[in-house]
Amino acid sequence: MPLLEVDNLEIAIAMRGQLLPVVRGISFSVDEGETLGIVGESGCGKSLTSLAIMGLLDGTPVRITGGDIRFEGQDLRQLNRRERRAIMGSRMAMIFQEPMTSLNPVYRIGDQIVENLRQHQKISQKAARARAIELLELVRIPEPQQRVDSYPHQMSGGQRQRVMIAMALSCDPKLLIADEPTTALDVTVQKEVLDLMADLQERMGTAIVLISHDLGVIAETCDKVAVMYRGKIAEAAPTDDLFARLAHPYTRGLLNSIPVVDRDVEWLEAIPGRVPGIDEDIEGCAFHPRCPRAQDICRRNEPKQHRIGNEHTSHCHFAEEAAP
Ligand SMILES: Nc1ncnc2c1ncn2[C@@H]1O[C@H](COP(=O)(O)OP(=O)(O)O)[C@@H](O)[C@H]1O
Ligand SMILES: [Mg+2]
């Protein structure tokens, strides 16, 4: 049984008396200790997908309109608020792009970790503080004995993101969802944080869903990849299979958006145009207006799922040919 199973998930936003679909039936699973990367440009529905898994959509105009989310075999959509809260932050944790929005600026970071620990575990104040220092050390914050009493604004962006990771890992979760965890950081710090996550995963066996708009980041860290475009999974595969045989022009476009010099001139450009808004209707394949390979059939019919390999799928009419 997979640790996390998302089956045909559909999400819509209530707007002007209508429900506008944003996530249009996506399925994926994550095994224990595995890392899944979800990649796609901004606006594809990645964050709403992770918020839906974490049960953080209450009180927003966003609704889950179909599908199932199962965690350790439990149907998360059926849980009440109290049951959900027991899972979130302990069995399952999340880190966001901007740690300043999740860290409370008026409390010392150590107190925030202690608070989080004591919410989920029977642990004394003293033991929780010792554990907080241990966690800061684990995420490589220098001088954790002193830094435990720092306020968030006294730390750098990279350190704050480490504190968030420490907090997320404090209850030893089975699954960590990291939504653009390094996007706000500069490149060297980004690399350090990603290395740290990989290292912690190896040591603790945490499964990770890593969300990024950067296919390079995903490629370096993930066992398998789901490429998302406009609320659907355009292509999915184990990372090695994906790069051995790209089978969707969107994936190729994302790959070419990674700044590297050593490539065919033809593909040097990033993808032209932009992700369509949720109120725009597109007939046929949602990617066709931006696709260099689009034919008549792409403008008319929505592509079905093609199986390229055992675990490799693509929603492209020319999936077989797209693969070089
Ligand atoms: N609360 C909201 N109200 C209206 N539109 C929203 C809301 N949240 C997200 N959206 C829209 O839903 C789409 C998907 O958003 P999101 O999941 O944040 O994308 P991603 O994380 O891939 O950038 C975007 O077009 C976004 O503008
Ligand atoms: Mg997002």
Distance between CA atoms of residues 284 and 287, nearest Å: 9
Per-residue pLDDT of the chain (324 residues; tens, 9 = 90+): 999 999 999 999 999 999 999 999 999 999 999 999 999 999 999 999 999 999 989 899 999 999 999 999 999 999 988 888 888 878 999 988 776 667 888 999 999 999 989 988 899 999 999 999 999 998 889 999 999 999 999 999 889 988 998 888 888 899 999 999 888 788 888 888 888 888 888 888 999 999 999 998 899 899 999 999 999 999 999 999 999 999 999 999 998 876 554 444 444 457 888 899 998 999 999 999 999 999 999 999 999 999 999 999 999 999 987 555
> Is residue 278 in contact with ligand 1, taking CB distance under 6 Å?
yes
Distance between CA atoms of residues 135 and 163, nearest Å: 8
Alpha carbon of 43 to ligand 1 centroid (Å) = 6
Alpha carbon of 129 to ligand 2 centroid (Å) = 33
Nearest CA to ligand 1 atom 27: 43
Q: Which amino acid is at 154?
A: Q
> Is residue 48 in contact with ligand 1, taking CB distance under 6 Å?
yes
CA proximity to 250, closest of 298, 208, 210 = 298
Alpha carbon of 46 to ligand 2 centroid (Å) = 5
Residue 242 in contact with residue 235, Cβ under 8 Å?
yes
Distance between CA atoms of residues 32 and 174, nearest Å: 7
Nearest ligand 1 atom, CA 277: 25
Domain boundaries, the chain: 4-222, 243-322
- pTM equals 0.91
Q: What is the pLDDT of residue 175?
A: 96
CATH topology of domain 4-222: Rossmann fold (3.40.50)
Q: What is the pLDDT of residue 100?
A: 60
Alpha carbon of 28 to ligand 2 centroid (Å) = 18
Q: What is the pLDDT of residue 170?
A: 86
pLDDT tens string 268-301: 457 888 899 998 999 999 999 999 999 999 999 9
Nearest ligand 1 atom, CA 23: 14
